[in-house]
Amino acid sequence: MRIAFYAPMKPLDSPVPSGDRAVGRLIVRALEMAGHEVIQPSRLRLWLKEGSHDALAEKERLADSEAERLLADFARHRAPDLWLTYHLYHKAPDWLGSRIANALGIPYVAIEASRAAKRRTGDWAYGFAAVDTMLEQADMVVASHRLDARGLAAVVPEERLTILPPFIDAATFEVTGPRLLERGEPIRLLTVAMMRAGDKTASYRVLAEALERIRDLDWRLTVVGDGEMRDEIMGWFDPVRTAWVGQLDAAGVTAQYAQADLFVWPAVREAYGLVFLEAQASGLPVVAGDANGVPDIVYEGETGFLAVSGDAESFAKALRLALSDRKHLARMGAQARESVSGRHDIQAASRKLDAILRKAQDIHTKRITGSCRKLPAS
């Protein structure tokens, strides 16, 4: 299939590193691995940081203008066979793809969609209502985890709703051998996250407070990340026990995974956290906050330990438990690697994604045929 891939939240060539950009690029790779031709027809960003009726309506007008341009282009050149929108929710309604798919009469698929019912009223109401219409139009709606799927089930029929678990290319995270956590050496903790205001800063605050509660244990922390909140955040951590290495490229981050013993991140209000999969693929067990989809990729007692999201005391207890048995921690690291390879690797995700798109085609055909049957005879 020729697939139009569109990310209303942020274009895939954005210079700003983020989890959503990384996931979007992985989805494109998975599509290409399945033999599909992927085009990215527009860089129009429909995402808003702050919601209001007027601001959202202006984004809709921009999408209308862009849709006219693209439809004219598709009339001259080959049009896509299917439109795939990545990250559909109230802050980034897809007025562009939904209009084009309807005009071309092609299947419309929304991947990593979510629906927060509390946004039905208030500043985001216009975007929430628009997304509900798009979910109704979609031939398949794909959630990333069970919590999002439950929210979507209120408006999306079971036949058109599925879950595609988060995935990575596990082969890029090599493990040279089992970790040997010898007594007498500090356990090497690692965290990888940008230092932005908001949820990232909140997570760093929880981590700093939790580590303060386990000062009696033998550990060292390495922090990979940078951003406008760096000076404030780094002031919360013990400078003797903490090494800050700044922002690194992919190879540099992979090297840090290989040198650590335990990955730690509170994940306050995060969707799921791609870094948890990367760390586990590298053979690292994880201590994480149990926000949203994190329990779908960090398996309590098997590949890591979960704490109450945003609770520093709960996170400290999980850290203490993790650090209490070095041999068990090493075994969990091996299980974490196997878990990602078996459950969250791009190879399996590519096959499942291909099956989802094939099903969307079938549903689209049935919906069109059903609509045609309802038309009165001429």
Domains for the chain: give ranges and CATH numbers. Answer: 2-167+346-373 (3.40.50.2000), 170-343 (3.40.50.2000)
- What one-character-per-residue DSSP string does 162-200 give? EE----B-GGGS---S-----TTS-EEEEEE----TTHH
Whole-angstrom distance, CA of residue 356 vs CA of residue 360: 6
C-beta separation of 200 from 193 below 8 A? yes
C-beta separation of 132 from 306 below 8 A? no
CA 188, 194, 195, 196 dihedral sign is negative
pLDDT computed for residue 181 by the predictor: 62
Q: How far, in Å, are 169, 297, 299, 334, 340 from residue 345 at the CA level?
A: 6, 12, 16, 16, 6
Minimal CA–CA distance to 31: which of 9, 74, 2, 70?
Answer: 2
Q: Which residue's structure tokens are 């791609």? A: 274
Please, what is the Cα angle at 230 between 228 and 231, to 5 degrees? 110
Write the pLDDT tens digit of every residue in 326-370.
Answer: 888 989 999 999 999 999 999 999 999 999 999 999 999 998 887
pLDDT computed for residue 273 by the predictor: 84
Minimal CA–CA distance to 60: which of 98, 24, 86, 87?
Answer: 98
pLDDT computed for residue 300 by the predictor: 92
Tell how far CA 275 is from the center of its chain.
10
What pTM was computed for the model? 0.84
Task: Extract the residue ranges of the chain whose pLDDT is less than 50.
Answer: 373-378
The torsion of the CA quartet 367, 66, 95, 11, rounded to 10 degrees, works out to: 110
pLDDT computed for residue 374 by the predictor: 45
pLDDT computed for residue 116 by the predictor: 93
Q: Which residues contact 304 (CB under 8 A, 6 or more apart)?
A: 276, 280, 285, 286, 287, 288, 298, 322, 332, 336
